[in-house]
Chains A and B, each alone.
Chain A
Amino acid sequence: MTTPKDFGFNDDINMLKDTYAKFLLEQKTIEALRPSLSGTEDPYHGAPRQAFFDTQNWQKTVELGMHAVAIPEAQGGIGMGLVAATAIAEEIGRSALPTPLSNNLIATFLLRAADTQPAQKLLEEMAEGVSVGLALYGEDGSLEADSTDVQARDGKLVGTAWYVTDAQKCDILIVAAQTQDGVDLFRVNRQAATVSVSPDRIVDLTRDQAGVTFASSDAAPLTEQGQGANCLNNALPALLTLTAADIAGAAEWQLQATADYAKVRQQFERPIGFFQAVKHPIVDMMIAVDETRSLVYQAAAAFDFDPDDAARCAHLAKSSASDTAEFCANRSTQLHGGIGFTWEADVQVYHKRQMHSQFMFGDGIWQRERLADLL
């Protein structure tokens, strides 16, 4: 099997991408984020920053149907694949949007992989606008499914899930927990009295993250007994591709912002972009972004059209994306000089989002280790 020449980007998907991009542009996402950042600079004093969540933006996103793009039609969704979801994820990254949409897209593929009645039921609720977060990590932040520190006993969860992204923006959590038969995925109501969310102080200004502790919380299984690890594994290519797409979008923003700055900032009577020590690294940013984008589109197309090759392509995409995130963030700040190092600069917002994304679902080195096993 092979992937289509256009990576599966048909007219519908191009229109979807344009619609969402236009919507985000109108939303002026960074401007909207700014008020939440003022007065929260000092890391040594004061209360943790309240994670910014523009609920109106989320409502409109749901009205536009973006949340349901990859939910099967049978569950009330639009029934498109990873190619469409990837197109959206790239736009989220480009606008550095704090949104539960990223995790909802990821959760959609996790639930599709689970392929059980309760998973379908949750997809139906998501189609209605219920928002889902992922509690998959143990303390060491490793992606191996059995590293979860949460235990399931008689339909109740006990323990703490770490690094739960956008925990404060979701209604339902999908939790990986140890059972007698291995790992299963469960659904838990995030607002239940037995569930406590303690926000992490994180570097990234565009996401929230928390430790979530379950004190004998009611939980319903989403996977067949002992199938959680399998399910995670099957959905992994989608998780990686969506995260890589977010990085690609943000990196393209970093490229354009840095190129624009190099055209207007004058030193030594010339725009700094004249100097090759500035010009060449910006070109290298472009090369990095383009490699990542091509691998992301190929990974999405492989997932939808050539599943046997999906894992390899997804590791390739995230391998490239993680390195691109690090490189573009680094150069974008450096080439902006002092201004790029300030709290006021937008490059710092993207820089920190990339620092976070780089390590989500494994960094470049981790991906390459997995890839080597496939070669």
Chain B
Amino acid sequence: MSDKTLSTEQAEFQAFCRAWLAENKPAPHSTPLPQAAYEVTDPSHLTYLTEWQAKCYEAGLIASDLPKNYGGHGMTGCQQIASTEVRAAGVPYFINWIGLGMAVPTLLECGTEAQKETFLPPIFSAEHIWCQGFSEPGAGSDLASLQASAVKEGDQWVINGSKVWTSLGHFAQYMLLLARQDKSDKYGGITYFLAPMDQPGITVKPIHKMTGESGFNEVFLDNAIVGDHLRVGNVGDGWKVAMATLTSERGAGVGVGAVAGESPMLVMEQVIQLAKDTRRNGRRVWDDPVWRDRIVKVYERTEASLYNGRRARIKALNGGAMRIPLQGKLTGSEISQSLHQIALGILGLKSSLYVGDENAPANGKWPLGYMNTYTGTISGGSSEIQRNILGERVLGLAKSK
């Protein structure tokens, strides 16, 4: 299927992506990968995924549209195509999702030239894995209440405190770090750093998720050292820089590569197939009108997200630049959650069989996936916080803080 609305260059690139992905799709790892990069802990998975990302970068599927001096490939209008093709190809996800999805847009928007030239290329190649040290035990939704302290000593900063829920902290070379240089100013007292993880002042301790997996950590900062040249933005401007990171985390940023695993459409198709293959009351679940309605309603919303994505780029029809993009994480995560709830319902008692049980449908993918949808509805600002943001920033309703 070819797309008439593409330029010749784009059409050629699309064809290239398809051919390249078909040819270079890696053989599966000897043990199953977790469902998303959030949950990777096995070092051999890390090696496998790092190699895969590096290969995609080399082929031009990552950083397609960025300038060459930042390690980009200097094309135009091609990243979107590459990302779409990657998502549709059923290939492994990119391990460095925090680097690609958060560090890159933050540096592009707020970093110095030197920071961009130094840090961007090894993010693309996954040579440097990144993590995000924002949340703390006492600072979740109310992120600006964070307490980790930053004290300037000469041309470096000494950091003390602790971070929590730090995804990929166990593999990371660098952390996007928020710390407080001024206790008396909630929002203006925060500074943003790029902290090297490999140092005596930083200890990483894994936390287990409800699924039994790990993937996120506690991180203790005990006289950790960060050079002043690793500060992003001015002293006290950390909150503003953090907004750039969070905007990207919530799906409203520029994007330099697909970070997700299976596309929602793919999961949707699997659920429809599941309903067709499962029998209940002497008929296919798909032939039960109640189930059909539930399933097709989510199908309708999945399609709507797809076309929302298109409409967001049309000025005359989008109702304002941020109105649709700011909905992305909220609707995406809630749709995914409903979809998994439906899958569990179709399976009924079979959904009790978990990963590792020989009779578990799709090796327990559905109950595991369902539990992991809470990653989407909680992290990066919970669904409740997203609704606050949408109400306040898009609709202008009174601020809740």
Contact = CB atoms under 8 A, between A and B. Distances in A.
B397 A294 contact: no
A320 B209 CA distance: 36
Contact of A297 (B292, B297, B311, B390): B311
B15 interface: no
A282 B398 CA distance: 12
B400 interface: yes
B293 interface: yes
Contact residues of A: prevailing secondary structure: helix
A270 B399 CA distance: 10
Given A9-B317, A297-B317, A263 B310 contact: no
22 contacts: A2-B5, A7-B311, A14-B316, A271-B397, A273-B391, A273-B398, A276-B387, A276-B400, A279-B388, A279-B392, A282-B391, A282-B397, A283-B395, A286-B390, A290-B324, A291-B308, A292-B304, A294-B311, A295-B303, A297-B307, A316-B300, A371-B296
A365 B286 CA distance: 15
A274 B3 CA distance: 45
B396 interface: yes
B166 to A, nearest CB: 29
Interface in B235-249: none
Contacts of A298: 303, 307, 310
Contact of A375 (B3, B272, B400): B272
A266 B300 CA distance: 37
A319 interface: yes
- Of B289, B304, B311, B327, the most chain A CB neighbours within 10 A belong to B304
Interface residues of A, number: 45
Contacts of A270: 398
Interface string B370-401: 00000000000000100110111011111110
A74 interface: no
A354 to B, nearest CB: 18
B390 A2 contact: no
Contacts of A14: 316
Interface in B311-329: 311, 313-314, 316-317, 319, 323-324, 327
B391 A283 contact: yes
Given A291-B304, A320-B301, 11 more contacts: A7-B314, A274-B398, A276-B388, A276-B400, A291-B300, A291-B331, A294-B304, A298-B310, A371-B300, A372-B292, A375-B296
Contacts of B384: 276, 280
Contacts of B397: 259, 262-263, 271, 273-274, 278-279, 282
Contacts of B283: none
A316 B297 CA distance: 9
Contacts of B323: 286, 290
A320 B296 CA distance: 11
B395 A282 contact: yes
Contacts of B286: 372
A196 B307 CA distance: 45
A316 B237 CA distance: 45
A4 B387 contact: no
Which 3 A-B residue pairs are closest in the complex by CB-CB distance?
Answer: A273-B397, A291-B304, A294-B307
